[in-house]
Structure 1
Amino acid sequence: MQKITNILIGLILLSTYAQEEEKVNVRIPRGDILSYANPSEVGFDSLYIHTKVDSIITNGIKERAFPGAQVLVAKHGRIIFHKAYGHHTYDKLQAVALDDIYDLASVTKITAALPALMKLVDEQKIDLDAPFSTYWKPWRKIDTKKDITLREILAHQAGLQPYIVFLNRLYRKNGKLKKRFVKKRANRRFTNQAYDGIFIKNKFRKKMYREIAKSPVSADRTYKYSGLSFLIFPELIAELTGSDFEGYLQHQFYIPLGATTMAFRPNTKQFENHIVPTEVDTVFRKTLTRGWVHDENASLLGGISGNAGLFATATDLAKMMQMYLQYGTYGGKRYISEATVKEFIRVQYPENDNRRGLGFDKPSLGNADLSLSKAYPAPEVSEESFGHSGFTGTFVWADPENELVYIFLSNRVYPSRAQRNLYNLNIRPAVQQVFYRAALPLR
């Protein structure tokens, strides 16, 4: 009887994958382009995967870690799991769909700023070990910053301040916005749109750059995560390429990859997809944030930044991560050289207890020997693996050794960024671990 039940469940799962494939209009491709398959086709136990992942995610929704989530996993270049759970908000008016668009938060760092920088390294337009001030002139006369290399910056080994809350510069002591920086309508000096009816003075970005230049630097140069340089990268990339940041990314990466939803400021695009909301902002935007970047610093730059601001669907994210996993190629096209990808995903300063690659996050040092509760991410990932997390509740990871791409999307900041059960319940590593334990010969 149990055998018959398992066969029926397997047939249902096969039907589900066919329906999901049709929903997102995925063309079955060839070569090194992602296609869909059942878990059993790559030696995975479908019943085990669905049972475990469903349990973890539904418990997360119950515990209000997020109102909804989406998980996509590709193995050997084949998407063997792609499932949506829950709703956009707790009122359950809009169910999560497979082609929903999410605010990627800091995943932007490795899907926007980083591919451009990697290509510039390939073209020998930047040198990882040259002082960053070679390319960014404002740092040349600052003693604490003039000798910092791009390698140190990308590995978070430069001692830069983690974050500056530039939003504070918009407010007076009485809590009112400074009209010299913010307008309700656009004009030629206020074209950077932060939200509906909120336009930031174009020159405010120069103020941000000056404050970053003046910010303190730690003398010991130990590992300290900082996103400040990623606010600068778009302008630097534009200077070095002669193209605007978003246009360069679209032309060089997103359009050739077929990542058609990967974009900044999706509310200004003609996407038919639903955009998942993030936080109910009670301070700046005074409403539910949807279709505009959640990160305030990125919003003050008009929603186009290297630290945050990119939006995408799970399938488009998977294409970018599969390209990285394949060391720079996808669909028969080479985007970045193999040598450059391998250099960027390599741990740079292990002697300083720094697990980071160049821009990419890496497993905790000694991760394989840690329990799930202490590991980052799942302890089963290979040392070669890499990825990044996002503040809004996103996470991407690629493991070349195991040929596995893992995408987790949620809006854990709804209704407030104070919601931390995504972390407390260790949901993202727990789901990831399922796919390392699902191999049939090992169970």
Structure 2
Amino acid sequence: MKTFRNKILLTITLHFVWALHPQQNDSLPYAHPSEVGLDSVYIHSQADSIITNGIKEGAFPGAQVLAAKNGRIIFHKAYGFHTYDSAQAVSPNDVYDLASVTKITAPLPALMKLVDEGKLNLDVPFSTYWKPWQKRKDKRDLTLREILAHQAGLQPYIVFLNKVRKKNGQLKKRFVRQQPNKRFQKQAYEGLFVKNRLGRKVQRMIDRSKVSEEKKYRYSGLPFLIFPKLIEQLTGEGYETYLEKHFYGPMGTKTLCFNPKQKKLPNAIVPTEIDTLFRHTLTQGWVHDENAALLGGVSGNAGLFGSAHDLAKLMLMYQNYGALNGQRYLSEKTVKEFTRVQYAENENRRGLGFDKPLLGNDTLALKDAYPAPAASPESFGHSGFTGTFVWADPEEQLVFVFLSNRVYPTRERRQLYDLNIRTALHQVFYKAKIEGK
């Protein structure tokens, strides 16, 4: 670690996208910050300072920052290394475990499309579509609007790993095997195969989970574990197939995928945690989140991997309220509905699936704000446990992507939060405006 810190200023990897990415057919256009009225020197000096300090303080071994203004990428730099041994420098094309950013980049676009098509209604009981909830008194009247806005009172989280581990930490053979067979085909990691029917057990546990009678903002990732199955039921297509067919394929987002180790992407995959609970090794190329891993790496709460460039495409589509490069993916009406605050009267800042700025965020100091205090009330995005963050601001025409592996080597590292790195970086791109432009 000490050797790594001593080498930072000399070996930090700084990549300018317009130099590294000759215009590809499926790439976004690039511009110098000055072309869109931003101060390039200010941006580079501030971003470099914030990230370099974050690396020195052990917030992450490396990171990426991407910003797009007026539909053009004006900043994309890769800093540091994959791990603290300085063996592999971060590259702009590297792929990251997106953690909870998955929620708005995988199940959510599918749900929005189903709303567009009239196959889902936000304000009828969700049990209309998810039949097991018709038998649950505390769930049968909950609406999809309440669920997506985290206003339904659902339990925040269930640690399903506890169901497949013995008290001594060993895995139960009736749930996890080291070799695949007909009943164990879902792969959670190299040499770990999960029982095919475990997904049904997970769904039953969610169906039976308790619901709070007090209806207030309470973040819950549980429904995102069942959304993939719901999407398959309503479309008649596999969850991954549906996303590839309607979104990732047409957009040219070649790195957005689940289980990238199996997809054999040419891009390097940045590792996450040295796992001491489940896999007992460095987790790389397989989802970090244990619940998603037990579902074979394909879920709605976590599991998606991707590059900063491909994430920017998807966020630009949202920023344009459903359109990208002349093609419409979602209706403007639906995207605007999903990205507005739903229950402000209950002090709930959330949109439908999307995170929103804190209520009154523009009045807060940088240390208290989320995201940047200068972000408009119309802006939206999501963060991820592994150290990821994406945000789109239609009013300011600004997309911001931050990727890191802050959980390396352990999830106990909280310097990313303590130093308020993502908020400070985000604010840089708002403060960089050149007067008179």
TM-score by length of 2: 0.95
Shift, 1:21, TM fit: 3.2
Partners in 2 of 1:261 and 1:23 — Cα distance?
A: 17
Contact conserved, 2:188 with 2:294, CA < 8 A, in 1?
A: yes
Aligned CA distance change for structure 1 residues 257 and 28 (closer, same or farther; 3 Å): closer
Contact conserved, 2:103 with 2:302, CA < 8 A, in 1?
A: yes
Q: Partner amino acid for 1:375?
A: A
Partners in 2 of 1:244 and 1:120 — Cα distance?
A: 14
Contact conserved, 1:382 with 1:399, CA < 8 A, in 2?
A: yes
411, 427, 432: which one pairs with 1:417?
411
SS at match of 2:140: coil
Partner of 1:23: 20
Shift, 1:397, TM fit: 0.2
Contact conserved, 1:71 with 1:407, CA < 8 A, in 2?
A: yes
Q: Partner amino acid for 1:302?
A: G
Deviation track 1:65-110 (CA, whole Å, cap 9, x = no partner) reads 0000000000001100000000000000000000000000000000
Partner of 1:116: 110
Partner of 1:286: 280
Q: Partner amino acid for 2:104?
A: I
Partner of 1:4: none
Q: What are the within-5 Å matches in structure 2 for residues 186-201 of structure 1?
A: 186-201=180-195
Shift, 1:432, TM fit: 0.5
Partners in 2 of 1:175 and 1:435 — Cα distance?
A: 46
Contact conserved, 2:16 with 2:77, CA < 8 A, in 1?
A: no
Q: Percent identity?
A: 66
Q: Partner amino acid for 1:361?
A: D
61, 74, 82: which one pairs with 2:76?
82
Q: Partner amino acid for 1:23?
A: L
Partners in 1 of 2:16 and 2:213 — Cα distance?
A: 56
Contact conserved, 1:24 with 1:99, CA < 8 A, in 2?
A: no
SS at match of 2:241: helix
Partners in 2 of 1:305 and 1:99 — Cα distance?
A: 24
Partners in 2 of 1:229 and 1:90 — Cα distance?
A: 36
How many equivalent residue pairs? 425
Q: Does 1:298 align with 2:295?
A: no
Contact conserved, 1:52 with 1:434, CA < 8 A, in 2?
A: yes
Partner of 1:336: 330
Partners in 2 of 1:327 and 1:106 — Cα distance?
A: 21
Q: Does 1:307 align with 2:301?
A: yes
SS at match of 1:156: coil
Partner of 1:325: 319
Partners in 2 of 1:219 and 1:18 — Cα distance?
A: 51
Of 173-182 and 350-359, deviating more is: 173-182
Task: Please report the RMSD computed on the Cα atoms of aligned residues, expressed in angstroms.
Answer: 1.5
Aligned CA distance change for structure 1 residues 145 and 57 (closer, same or farther; 3 Å): same
Partner of 1:8: none
Segments of 5+ residues of structure 1 without an aligned counterpart are 1-15
Aligned CA distance change for structure 1 residues 241 and 149 (closer, same or farther; 3 Å): same
Partner of 1:433: 427
Shift, 1:173, TM fit: 2.5
Deviation track 1:26-76 (CA, whole Å, cap 9, x = no partner) reads 4278xxx83111101011111110000000000000000000000000000
Shift, 1:19, TM fit: 5.8
Contact conserved, 2:50 with 2:425, CA < 8 A, in 1?
A: yes
Aligned CA distance change for structure 1 residues 146 and 109 (closer, same or farther; 3 Å): same
Deviation track 1:359-414 (CA, whole Å, cap 9, x = no partner) reads 00000000000011111101000000000000000000000000000000000000
Deviation track 1:225-253 (CA, whole Å, cap 9, x = no partner) reads 00000000001101100110001000100
Q: What are the within-5 Å matches in structure 2 for residues 35-434 of structure 1?
A: 35-434=29-428
Shift, 1:175, TM fit: 2.7
Q: Partner amino acid for 1:240?
A: L
Contact conserved, 1:24 with 1:98, CA < 8 A, in 2?
A: no
Segments of 5+ residues of structure 2 without an aligned counterpart are 1-12
SS at match of 2:270: coil
TM-score by length of 1: 0.94
Partner of 1:5: none
